[in-house]
Amino acid sequence: MLIIEDDLVLADALVRAFQQDGHTVDWLADGRLALEALTVNPPDAAILDLSLPGMDGLRLLRAARAEGCETPVLVLTARSEPTERVAGLDTGADDYLVKPFELGELEARVRALLRRRGPTRSTTIKVGEIEFDAVRRRVTVAGQPIDLPRRELALLEVFISHPGRVFEKETLLDRVFGYDDEVNPSAVELYVCRLRKRLQPGNVKIRTLRGLGYILEA
């Protein structure tokens, strides 16, 4: 997820809340940097403030849509006039929430956006005896629910969304860690090792292909 918000206190609260829900979250406060993030490496969902330095939120959204960005975007702003809401939705926003707001409502709206991402997207993915609810961030192994730490949950989502695909270590770093995380590539080996152990009862295996990367197989 990408949080685009220049209010440091609010942004920190949002990042913490969505990380607790199991999401990998990035935060940017500059409109121009956010446009690059949306178009070069699109997140699953974005929360966008309209009053931003570098580039206004509506300009940013219009430019992102013009470049083919299909990321669901929820506009979060203090601008409450109906004309402002209409402008945001017409520019390409998928939802609009006015400040102040309840965190629970924001989280519910984001879950709804993720469910609507595409007609072929199922909220639950199953490989072997592993089931992963991509919206509620819940995992069951051989019918038993398990709690995965945030990094392992993000890693599982990458693998289970593409069983049989080989992922290079660098790709996993990009998917699991945020822009500001300072990590060593060997961290991937650690998280893969931990995830392997947790998934053992689920009749799946994460194999290491020397010199190539990792692959999830049922």
CATH label of the domain that carries residue 195? 1.10.10.10
Identify the domain containing residue 167 by its residue range.
124-217
Number of domains in the chain: 2
User: What's the mean per-residue pLDDT of the chain?
Assistant: 87
Residues 8, 110, single domain; the answer is: yes
Residues 111, 6, single domain; the answer is: yes
Final residue belonging to a domain, choices 115, 144, 177? 115
Residues 141, 96, single domain; the answer is: no
Question: For 18-37, how does the pLDDT look when each residue is reduced to its tens digit (9 = 90+)?
Answer: 988 878 889 999 999 999 99
Residues 110, 164, single domain; the answer is: no
Do the beta carbons of residue 164 and residue 217 sit within 8 Å?
yes
Question: For 107-141, how does the pLDDT look when each residue is reduced to its tens digit (9 = 90+)?
Answer: 999 988 887 765 444 578 889 999 998 777 889 99
pLDDT for 179 beyond 80: no
Residues 184, 148, single domain; the answer is: yes
pLDDT for 67 beyond 80: yes
Residues 174/177/178/179 CA torsion (nearest 10 deg): -50
pLDDT for 158 beyond 80: yes
Final residue belonging to a domain, choices 115, 150, 178? 115
